[in-house]
Amino acid sequence: MSTALALVIIVAVAYLATHVAFDWAARRFLIVSGAEYLLLGILVGPQVSGLVTAHTIDSFAPLTTLALGWVGAIVGTQFRIPELVRIPGVMFRLAFAEALATLGVVGGLLGLALMWLFDLTPALAAVPAIALGGIAAVSAPAGIEVVARHTGARGPIVRQLQVCTAIDALVAIVAVGLLACVQRPPADGGVRPLTPTEWAVVSVALGLVGGALFHLFLGRERNVDRLVISLGGAVILISGAAAYLQLSPLLAAMVFGATLANTSRSRAEIGETLARGERPFYFVLLIFAGIAWQPSAREWAVPVVLFLLTRAVGKIGGARLGARLAGTLPVFGAHWGRALLGQGGLALALAFDYVQQGGSPLSNIVFTAAIASVLLTDLSSAHLVQATVLPLLESEVSPRRVAARFLTPRSREQAAGRPTAGGD
């Protein structure tokens, strides 16, 4: 039996074996599925058993590119403008403050540490430091959704966490995507090479053009089976083009997903189709990430430990600082950032994206840090969310204080039962 066939069988059996078990565990024990697939990939990979070689992963490159693009497209569908404008602006300010604070704290401190540990120039150390900052900014939405379903939790804190995970993904994908534009090697020949700004425009244009073409030819398609095939073809085309140009498939696919969410009449069917394919592609990406992992030839323990510590400081401290500046500490408390410590598959997708960028410095250390963070936080993310959310829901927070911060004048009148301007 060939190695490639063995890998397909392993992935299929692992998915079927854990599909029911971990759904049950998520409901009963608040455990988010994912880390076990990453461990499986490491165990069957060349670093442990050697059952699957690194050469085999190269033969599955189109599948990994499709998985990256599918994850990016799902992130993009969250940014539908008519829905975004209904969210109070203070929630976006809090989310951006937390995400940018995490990126800045982790990127800055890791940059200094990498310069000192490996004797790198500031310009060279900044590249892996920014990648680690982007990865650190990511928060997993799975734990929040598990707790919301399990406890029926609702309210401003749950909505704020959902907004934060979306903005975290946006900030992280843009940061790593722009790194690919900066790092891209110059083209051979006598033509003038494109600048990093021009490559960034190309990355965005891939998603915009792909979304426009999909809208033009399949904008009214509502058959789910046809949408699966057409979406798969569109995502592999866009993410494959980005990978061929040594750009970020995640960034191009995210723009593609946002374009479809804002232009297509079949946005509900497209979102449902992408959501159905999320879990298989997510688990495939985890297994392939585990197989592709290689320990760094340099000392990696210190940077990885620093990454984990600075990420916790950035998440909790950034969330607290943002809430203080926005005046929402009475609503969320000082430690609501703990609910955002879970990482999830997007962190590995970003690390995988960074590794595939040609000549990325310290790529194995960046990849190892992402794997360590996912393994340490994935199983506990739902418990962290529950420990943060339930005390806030059970506390006697003044409804007027919540309304003053999170409700618009129109929605306050509706909440009070008074007719609004233009109402019936």
Q: What is the pLDDT of residues 185-197, one digit of tens each?
A: 766 666 778 888 9
Q: How confident is the model at residue 11 (pLDDT cuts 50, 70, 90)?
A: low
Residue with tokens 């995502």: 235
**Whether the predicted pLDDT of 400 surpasses 50:** no
Structure tokens at 179: 């790194």
CA distance 421 to 424: 9
Q: Is residue 340 part of a domain?
A: yes
In a domain, 408, yes or no: no
Longest dimension (CA), the chain: 71
DSSP notation for 240-282: HHHHHTTS-HHHHHHHHHHHHHHH-TTHHHHHHHHHHHHHHHH
Within-domain flag for 413: no
pLDDT at residue 17, as a whole number = 53
396 burial type by CB count under 10 A (0-12 exposed, 13-18 middle, 19+ buried) = exposed
Chain Cα centroid distance, residue 372 = 16
Q: How confident is the model at residue 34 (pLDDT cuts 50, 70, 90)?
A: low
Window from 140-149, 298-307, 375-384, 395-404 with minimum mean pLDDT: 395-404
CATH number at residue 256: 1.20.1530
Indicate the range of 10-24, 192-206, 259-273, 361-375 predicted with least confidence.
Answer: 10-24
Q: What angle do CA 100, 104, 106 make, to 5 degrees?
A: 120
Domain assignment present for residue 416? The answer is: no
Q: Please report the pLDDT score of residue 378 as a whole number.
A: 77
- pTM score of the predicted model: 0.85
Query: Which tops the pLDDT comparison, 412 or 175?
Result: 175
Res 122 pLDDT > 80: yes
Q: Residues 336-371: pLDDT tens digits?
A: 888 888 888 888 889 988 988 777 888 889 998 998
Contact 360, 128 (CB under 8 A): yes
Q: Which domain holds residue 134?
A: 3-186+193-395
Residue 176: inside a domain, yes or no? Answer: yes
Whether residue 405 is contained in a domain is answered as no
Region of residue 248 (phi > 0: left; psi between -120 and 50: alpha; otherwise: beta): beta
pLDDT band for 253, please (50, 70, 90 cuts): very high
Residue 306 lies in a domain: yes
Number of domains in the chain: 1
The residue among 40 and 202 whose pLDDT is bigger is 202
The predicted model gives 200-214 an average pLDDT of 90
Q: How confident is the model at residue 25, as a pLDDT? A: 54
Query: Quick check: is 407 in a domain?
Result: no
